[in-house]
Structure formats: C-alpha cells, structure tokens
Copies of this chain bind each other. A is one copy, B any other.
Amino acid sequence: MDKVSSSAADAVADIGTGASLAVGGFGWCGVPTVLIEAIRDAGATDLEVVSNNCGADGWGLAILLAERRISRVVASFFGDNREFARQYLQGELEVEITPQGTLAERLRAAGAGIPGFFTPTGVGTLVEQGGLVWRFDHEGNAAVVSPAKPVRTFVRAGKAQQFLLEEALPTDFAIVRAALGDRHGNLVFHASAKNFNPLAAMAGRITIAEVERLVEPGEIDPDLVHLPGIFVDRIVELTPEQVAAKQIEKRMVKGMVKR
C-alpha cells in the first residue's frame, strides 16, 4: 500500500469545478498551502470551501479567493480578510457563518457517519432562528438567509434545556497538512497546527494530505498516530523549501504589550 502521489498537481488533478472542499488550518497555522496552490494552478472554479478561516493577504485560501475561484464558504471567522468581505458584501460570495465548535463537530460528524447532532451552541440566537445573511444581492440587500434550525428539549443534569439540530458537513475532497506522514496515510500533527486538520480529513470523501516529512510504514509508533491512515487517500511530500515557507500572522515575543 502506497498512497504517495508523485506531485501536488497529480494529487489534486480530479478536483473539478463545482467540487466541495474541507480545508484544515486555523488562521495561518496548519494550512495546506501547497495543495491550495496546486488547486489554483489546476484551474478548478466554483468551489465550495469549508474552512474555519479563509486565509488573508495572499496566504492560504486567499489566493483562491483573489482569483474568484470560490463561490461558497462555510466558516466561523473571516474578520482579517478584506477581499473576503468585499466579495461577500457585493454578492459575489455566499457565506454560511457557523460557530467554530459547531463547524468542528459538523466535520467530525461527517467522518463519523453521524448525519446530525444536537448542540446548545446558538440556541436563542440567529443561528437557531434563521436570518443570517448567506448571500447579498448587488444592492447589498439580503438575497439568501439561513433557515431556522429544528429545536428539541433534552433533560441535562435534571433540567430541561433546549438544543438545536446541526447537520454533518461531508465534502467531495479534503486537503490537510501534517508534520509527519507515512505511505499508509497515517498522520502526526505538531502543536496547534493540528486544529481542524484531522476533522477536515474525516469529512472528505477523498482526502489529500501534504506532509512536512514522509516516512516508511512502521516508522511511526502505532500509539503515536494522531489520524489513522484509513482517513487519508493521498499523500504529498513537501520539499524543504515548501516547509520553510511557513509564515506567521502575528509574531509576538516575550515582553511585548498585549492588546
């Protein structure tokens, strides 16, 4: 068994126009930038992207946004991305705004064969009641808004409480980044670069991982695997230059004043 692709271009070649795509990463951390670049180069457009953020300043998914290759985004936070805001407000981009924990759980649920689950998050807010603007028209009025979500009462710690139903978020493809991987697709992440990566990987029908270091099966202790290879279909090994290109969004060092 060898899931290694000969190149990033090869690995993403069948991601076509209109595909849905779960993408790992939080801010600029743990983002599969090389696979994103390969998708840009391959030309697919009208993509639906599920990702906590959507990159910024020419980094990560921002390079697909800049070329208007993304038509719909499911995300929890995009406050740092001006081009994202412009496309959203001018009705060029549909945005399903989802609480961060709900987004994580919806991706995991997709991978776990759980089509829906109840959560306390968002009860009593627009997330439950509906009306969040998914798409503006060209005059800046709401064209598509979120639907209301079903609510159910459960008894929790002896108290009846309301919860809303969220649905799983399966995608055609997932692209993720890991520190270490083997030819069977087993992955190991480092520090907070783990974030959404294992969950995006679970949600994809076909999952592609870029790894900073590739090793042979057996070199990763079975106790230390973070994501079992069954969730990964293709592996791309990064070059040392690609690994070194990692960027930092907010570089802070000891003694700096907190904002």
Contacts and interface: CB of A to CB of B under 8 A. Distances in A.
Considering residues A109, A112, A117, which has the most beta carbons from chain B within 10 angstroms of its beta carbon? A117
**SS class of chain A's interface: helix, strand, loop or mixed?**
mixed
Interface in A12-66: none
A117 B164 CA distance: 11
Interface residues of A, number: 26
Contacts of A109: 117
Contacts of A224: 224
30 contacts: A105-B112, A105-B114, A109-B117, A113-B119, A113-B120, A114-B117, A114-B118, A114-B119, A115-B118, A115-B120, A115-B154, A115-B156, A115-B161, A115-B163, A116-B117, A116-B118, A116-B152, A116-B154, A116-B163, A117-B117, A117-B118, A154-B167, A156-B170, A157-B170, A188-B223, A189-B223, A190-B223, A191-B222, A191-B223, A224-B224
